[in-house]
Amino acid sequence: MRRIPRGRVATYGQVAELAGLAGHARQVGYALHALPSGSTVPWHRVLNAAGGVSRRATPGSELTQRQLLEREGVHFDPRGRVCLAVERWRPRARN
């Protein structure tokens, strides 16, 4: 996830696939949830498959993620979604 640049996003499924865990998007969500407070991992750059911010147990957490992304220049549509065709990070293939 540290490879996701500012102003770009990835989906939970995309991160899982890049980690060799295709089909295990929820595992990525569990891992992000377990990050300690103050972590430098750019957790906010990971969205659900629809390009939206996933709901959290703590009210207001969704707004924090959106604000962090907007500060990086990520745009949300009126439905609260990011256009993945435009904003999705596409890593270069590794040799």
List the domain boundaries for the chain: 10-87
Tokens 């270069």 sit at which residue?
Answer: 92
Tell me which CATH code domain 10-87 carries.
1.10.10.10
Over residues 25-79, the pLDDT tens digits come to 999 999 999 999 899 999 999 999 999 999 887 777 889 999 999 999 999 999 9
The whole-model pTM stands at: 0.91
Q: What is the spatial distance between Cα 37 and Cα 25, in angstroms, rounded to a whole number?
A: 22
Task: Report whether 53 contacts 61 (CB < 8 A).
Answer: no
Both tokens assigned to 46: 């990971």
Both tokens assigned to 66: 């959106």
**Bridge partners of 88?**
9
